[in-house]
Amino acid sequence: MQLPQAPSFKLTGKRALVVGASSGIGLACAVALAEAGGHVTIAARRLEQLSQLKAQMQAKGWQVSVLQLDVANIEQTQEQLLSVEPFDILVNSAGLAKHTASLETKVADFDDVMAVNLRGAYFLTQSVAKRLISAGKGGSLINISSQMAKVGGIERAVYCASKHAVEGFTKAMAIEWGMHKIRVNTVCPTFILTELTQSTFDDPAKKAWIEDKIKLDRVGEVQDIMGAVLYLASDASALVTGTAMMVDGGWTAE
């Protein structure tokens, strides 16, 4: 009897682009992919933070490059990605939230959120895929979505709309690009404790709401996302495309 061989989680020889890598979930994803052997290009708007992160990662012996990039500037993003070698892996963690009651949503806030979470994510994913297809290569494209892509939330109508839309284009792109061996998936985290979410956790009422919804009885940490992203980036998920990996502690199980 010949025993099956488990697929590898190693990313040796793979080029990865992590957008929104200057902090929080994006930073953690960059670390996970680099530690697994990938050559990681960390991208965001904040060049100073990227440079500091690069130095820390290189001190670990990891392969790291820096790319200053704003996904809301679609034309510039397209030009930048056309000028570099194709990336085998994309992790898009760039995101924006402007939470208000839906009756109080301002057009400018709606447009700002959609420019990053939807338009930016869509055309970033498209740009990476175009380079892969032109090079005749497959790849794994991952957008960091949210549990709010599956449910609704108070004061989160715009954010929910943007993330529901990400799930929609993910499925369509996965269908279209499967013939090119390009996989497209999302990771849907619950509330993750970061600098950006600290104010939410500092509100006793909101903290109680979050803790009541998470069945595992604890809030999320960036480490919880690292394993999910590594799985989707690696050959361990070779038959996974067009789907969402829920990392929500059971929030959406109801």
- pLDDT tens, residue by residue, 5-32: 999 999 999 999 999 999 999 999 999 9
Q: Which helix (H) or strand (E) holds 140?
A: strand 139-144
Q: Which of 62, 87, 123, 159 is catalytic?
A: 159
**Three-state DSSP state, 157:** helix
Matching residue, tokens 């104010």: 199
**Averaged pLDDT for residues 208-217:** 90
Confidence at 81, pLDDT banded by 50, 70, 90:
very high
The number of beta carbons lying within 10 Å of the beta carbon of residue 189 is: 23
For the chain, the straight-line distance linking the first and the last C-alpha, in angstroms and rounded, comes to 43
Contact (CB, 8 A) for 167 and 146:
no
CA distance 218 to 65: 34
Domain ranges of the chain: 15-194+221-246
pLDDT at residue 58, as a whole number: 98
CATH architecture of 15-194+221-246: 3-Layer(aba) Sandwich (3.40)
**Strand 15-19 to 39-44 pairing:** parallel
- Is 122 a residue of the active site? no
What percent of the chain has a predicted confidence (pLDDT) above 70? 100
Average pLDDT score over the chain:
95
Tens digit of pLDDT for each residue in 50-73?
999 999 999 999 999 999 999 999
Residue 148 structure tokens: 């709010």
pTM score? 0.95
